[in-house]
């Protein structure tokens, strides 16, 4: 590992009102002035009492090919910290990120790890997003011509990061032999962290439980989520009902066991996941470049594009499997998810051949897109996932719309559905921005089609029925919302 003695970073403060967090947790919201006092004072950071993370499951239904059996539903645990803790994590992330970026430049691999970073577009002010990264990969295929694309996946990446190695790299980035007390407090609370189940906390504090809806007993929130207080409870209630002090309640607090794993969802975890693999990235990048190819990694998704055929692909996959074991004795490549697609030049055209793996039967699938050597498509699973996310948002919006207009029947509400549809439908091309957070589904399609140019001219055809589908889903959601609406008092 290359060691640079740069010394501890300066504690510059660069928070703004957009960084303020207003979700319910165990602490009260604080001002920017108080945030500044907290995060820039090393003594306060070192002595900060961190609250347990709040944990919930982010679930999704994997895409099912036509005629295939329905795959099992998947989920991943997300953990988010209390406000004060999150501000500290964010501040130290920014410090370490500057040192990490400098190290990437020194090593010559700034273009390899691409997730969780602000990577500028050449000659432009905006940053790259997954569309641009997918284009970069497909351009490499075009450049090399006769090549193989090897896509690999790291198994349970965040859960298997070795704490000792995290600490070693953290020290190395700071150029110190031992972490300063403030950095050690941050390190300790993102590795040996505590957490509570979000649903059980809401239940224990009386915000969630059994209720009767349309004559049926169900479990749900006992008040609108937006009315839940930002500070969930007093410190006395926290000690008694959450920690179990006093013996009346059992403790809800769990602890990360063992010497591995960081909480996916904390503001600093993504950076840790990136710098953890800095040696791996260097090794894979040098391997690919020595063969005239390229290497990219988006979090736990690894992509190698190399000249040659099946033999070159097999050797590269073996090399990656070997190298990942050097980064911690729990990290593994999921062999069953490794996909290999071969491209061959046929005159002026590229043709692909799927060699192995559960994906790639229609060409390389990468970051939500698919490339068959001629045209770029949005992955069918990406379209399906976007539809599901939008449907969930529509259901929530329809419920609020129905509650705010208690006297209107469903038929009249459907006539006013343009307000709902505007959240998901067309955004004029001239109003597009480089900020992906402002994109609607339609503007995402516009952006992808624009970035890929002629190769992406099939993308619009994949979603030409989107508006009709959304109108049907909005109408159905409004009908359901009206049927569940609380009856008005006579």
Assign 346 to helix, strand or coil.
strand
According to the model, what pLDDT value does residue 12 have? 66
Q: What's the pLDDT tens digit per position in 333-364?
A: 998 999 999 999 988 889 999 999 988 889 99
pLDDT score for 360: 86
Nearest C-alpha neighbor of 264 from the set 385, 382, 116: 116
Residue 397, H or E segment: helix 380-404
pLDDT at 429: 46
The answer to whether 166 and 261 are in contact (CB under 8 A) is no
Convert the pLDDT of each residue in 13-40 to its tens digit.
678 888 889 899 999 999 999 999 999 9
pLDDT of the residue at 428 = 47
CA dihedral of 317, 119, 292, 450, whole degrees rounded to 10: 100
Regions in the chain scoring below 70 on pLDDT: 1-13, 59-75, 214, 415-439, 485-490
- HSE, side-chain direction, 13 A CA sphere, residue 411: 0
Q: Report CA-CA distances (Å) from 4 to 8, 106, 170, 175.
A: 11, 10, 12, 6
pLDDT at res. 421: 57
């Amino acid at each position: 590992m290359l060691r640079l003695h740069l010394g501890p970073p300066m504690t510059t403060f660069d928070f703004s009102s957009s960084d303020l967090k207003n979700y319910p947790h165990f602490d009260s919201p604080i001002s920017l002035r108080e945030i500044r006092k907290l995060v820039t004072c090393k003594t306060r950071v070192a002595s900060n009492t961190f609250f347990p993370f709040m944990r919930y499951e982010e679930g999704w239904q994997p895409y099912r090919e036509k005629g295939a059996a329905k795959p099992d539903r998947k989920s991943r645990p997300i953990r988010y910290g209390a406000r004060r803790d999150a501000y500290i994590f964010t501040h130290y992330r920014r410090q370490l990120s500057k040192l990490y970026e400098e190290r990437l430049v020194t090593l010559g691999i700034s273009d390899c790890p691409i997730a969780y970073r602000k990577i500028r577009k050449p000659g432009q002010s905006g940053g790259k997003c997954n569309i641009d990264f997918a284009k970069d990969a497909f351009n490499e295929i075009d450049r090399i011509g006769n090549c193989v694309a090897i896509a690999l996946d790291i198994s349970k990446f965040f859960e298997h990061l070795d704490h000792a190695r995290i600490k070693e790299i953290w020290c190395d980035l700071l150029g110190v032999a031992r972490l300063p007390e403030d950095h050690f407090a941050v390190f300790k609370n993102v590795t040996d962290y505590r957490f509570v189940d979000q649903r059980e906390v809401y239940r224990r504090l009386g915000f969630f439980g059994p209720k009767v809806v349309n004559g049926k007993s169900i479990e749900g929130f006992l008040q609108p989520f937006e009315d839940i207080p930002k500070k969930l409870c007093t410190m006395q209630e926290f000690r008694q009902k959450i920690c179990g002090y006093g013996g009346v309640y059992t403790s809800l607090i769990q602890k990360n066991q063992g010497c591995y794993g960081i909480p996916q969802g904390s503001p600093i975890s993504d950076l840790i996941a990136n710098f953890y693999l800095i040696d791996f990235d260097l090794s894979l990048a040098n391997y690919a470049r020595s063969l005239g190819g390229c290497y990219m990694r988006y979090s736990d998704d690894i992509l190698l594009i190399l000249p040659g055929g099946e033999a070159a692909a097999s050797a590269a996959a073996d090399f990656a499997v070997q190298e990942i074991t050097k980064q911690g004795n729990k990290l593994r490549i999921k062999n069953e998810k490794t996909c290999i697609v071969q491209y061959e030049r046929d005159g002026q055209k590229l043709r692909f051949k799927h060699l192995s793996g559960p994906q790639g039967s229609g060409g390389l699938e990468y970051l939500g897109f698919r490339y068959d050597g001629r045209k770029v498509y949005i992955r069918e699973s990406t379209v399906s996932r976007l539809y599901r996310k939008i449907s969930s948002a529509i259901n929530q919006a329809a419920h609020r719309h129905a509650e705010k207009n208690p006297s209107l029947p469903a038929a009249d509400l459907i006539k006013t559905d343009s307000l709902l549809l505007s959240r998901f439908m067309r955004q004029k091309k001239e109003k597009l921005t480089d900020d992906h957070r402002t994109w609607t589904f339609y503007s995402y399609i516009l952006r992808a089609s624009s970035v890929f140019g002629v190769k992406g001219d099939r993308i619009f055809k994949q979603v030409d029925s989107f508006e009709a589908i959304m109108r049907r889903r909005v109408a159905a959601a409004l009908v359901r919302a009206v049927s569940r609406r609380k009856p008005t008092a006579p």
